[in-house]
């Protein structure tokens, strides 16, 4: 048996390529839309991808399952559980799609996969037990857990309400998750835990940076799983729902598109943005989402294209900033420091359904034309004026723990939906815990005409007398 974890570091997302080396057949679990890297790994290992499975209807990226079925003739294995509102509608009636119920079994070559219904993160969520029949095994060696069990955490049950807007489902989902976790008590301790995400994903609040684990270890040292196995339901529900970060706005769109069917990439290829010059900038300053990919937030504040968003590629912030602030139909211009990263940026964007990446320009050239330059001031936290209008763009739990007196709190990932709550009419001082989130929010607010001042530095350095 061949098994490879394929990680997208920007979204902290894991796909899994599992192949039968005897027959050459392989399945990809939870793929993203840009399929070329999966095909390359398969070919390098004398495998061909004949099947695809999704553990659930994803919220944080667009699945590549439809692309594999329609363009490449793969068979798909998808959940039929969860009720009528949680079906993969794009796959209905497709003869290449096999819908799964709890404990259904299928094979790819001599690899057996058994579907287990593990709801809570989503109602239709499935995990897959993997058994290497061809290698002589008669019991599973791994559990592909999707967003059910992570290393050090479990999937968050609040997204259907906090991201998809389904009021009143958060607590019932948490109780469903509790029951699902308790049902794992009968699974063998030796099972490898192969999760769909690692540290940095917004699909949990305390995900570990270790790429995989073992169920016996997680039972001992994964706080959420341990609590589900040893504590009462009400205590688990309270714990799992507290401190969950506000999800980016694009999560609701991902749920919709993965359910209805992600758009197929034109000719199966990635967008190929053209290189433009400073002389052409005038044609791109209107009706365009300008994403500045530079990493230096101070340099951005001092000098950037008017209306540009600060979307640094490091730490997955490009996906978060673009997904939170850019409409899916927008034409996109990239301002880049490094031409070699244009392709990487295109991949990050199409993975969240931002397909209209039309052009790019080197930052030095873009900023050489003074006609289109803007800036906003930065100050150190210690310089925050008393009685200033303050916007805190941290998470709600961070704000609850300590806050600037009189500050308004809106997480930077939710600003676009709550602009009517942002104080206006005087300079707005924007802060977070360290400076990056406030820089991203400041650029967005400045693009909407707000007079912003970026508080750039540690929250703890704001004068103690101004904090509660």
> Which residues have a catalytic role annotated?
60
State how far the Cα of 38 lies from the Cα of 18, in Å rounded to an integer: 11
Strand order in the sheet with 105-108: 105-108, 111-117, 126-132, 142-146, 192-195, 213-214
Note whether 332 and 291 are within 8 A (CB): yes
Bridge partners of 5, per DSSP, are: 16
**Whole-number Å distance between alpha carbons of 371 and 209:** 45
Whole-angstrom Cα distance, residue 163 to residue 252? 5
Q: What does the block give as tokens for 366?
A: 């873009």
Joined tokens for residue 15:
């796909």
Residue 420 and residue 411: Cα distance in Å, rounded? 14
Q: Name the nearest CA neighbour of 305 among 378, 370, 377, 379.
A: 370
Count other Cβ atoms within 10 Å, centred on residue 42. Answer: 21
């Amino acid at each position: 048996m061949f098994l490879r974890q394929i990680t997208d570091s920007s979204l902290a997302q894991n796909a899994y390529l599992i192949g039968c080396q005897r027959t050459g057949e392989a399945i990809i679990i939870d793929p993203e839309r840009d399929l070329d890297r999966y095909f390359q790994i398969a070919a390098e290992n004398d495998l061909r991808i004949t099947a695809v499975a999704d553990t659930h209807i994803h919220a944080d990226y667009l699945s590549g399952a439809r692309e594999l079925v329609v363009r490449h003739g793969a068979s798909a294995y998808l959940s039929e559980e969860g009720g009528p509102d949680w079906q993969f509608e794009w796959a209905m009636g497709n003869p290449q799609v096999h819908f799964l119920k709890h404990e259904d079994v299928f094979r790819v070559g001599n690899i057996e996969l058994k579907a287990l219904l593990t709801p809570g993160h989503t109602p239709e969520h499935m995990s897959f037990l993997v058994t290497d029949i061809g290698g002589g095994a008669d019991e599973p060696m791994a559990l592909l857990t999707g967003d059910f069990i992570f290393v050090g955490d479990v999937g968050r049950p609040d997204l259907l309400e906090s991201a998809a807007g389904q009021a009143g489902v958060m607590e019932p989902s948490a109780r469903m998750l509790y029951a699902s976790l308790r049902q794992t008590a009968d699974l063998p301790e030796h099972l490898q835990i192969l999760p769909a995400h690692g540290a940095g994903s917004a699909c949990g609040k305390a995900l570990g940076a270790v790429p995989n684990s073992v169920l016996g270890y997680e039972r001992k040292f994964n706080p959420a799983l341990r609590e589900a196995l040893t504590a009462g339901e009400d205590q688990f529900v309270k714990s799992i729902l507290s401190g969950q970060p506000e999800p980016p706005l694009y999560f609701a769109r991902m749920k919709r598109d993965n359910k209805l069917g992600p758009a197929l990439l034109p000719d199966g290829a990635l967008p190929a943005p053209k290189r433009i010059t400073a002389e052409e900038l005038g044609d791109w300053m209107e009706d365009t989402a300008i994403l500045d990919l530079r990493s230096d937030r101070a340099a951005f504040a001092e000098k950037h294209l008017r209306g540009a968003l600060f979307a640094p590629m490091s730490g997955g912030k490009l996906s978060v900033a673009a997904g939170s602030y850019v409409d899916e139909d927008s034409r996109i211009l990239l301002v880049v420091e490094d031409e070699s990263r244009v392709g990487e940026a295109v991949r990050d964007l199409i993975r969240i359904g931002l397909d209209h990446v039309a052009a790019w320009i080197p930052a030095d050239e873009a900023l050489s034309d003074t006609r289109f330059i803007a800036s906003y001031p930065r100050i150190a936290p210690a310089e925050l004026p008393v009685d200033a209008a303050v916007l805190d763009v941290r998470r709600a739990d961070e704000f609850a723990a300590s806050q600037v007196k009189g500050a308004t709190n809106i997480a930077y990932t939710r600003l676009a939906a709550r602009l009517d709550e942002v104080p206006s009419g005087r300079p707005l001082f924007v802060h977070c815990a360290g400076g990056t989130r406030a820089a991203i929010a400041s650029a967005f607010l400045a693009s909407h005409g707000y007079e912003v001042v970026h508080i750039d530095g540690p929250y703890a350095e704001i004068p103690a007398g101004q904090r509660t």
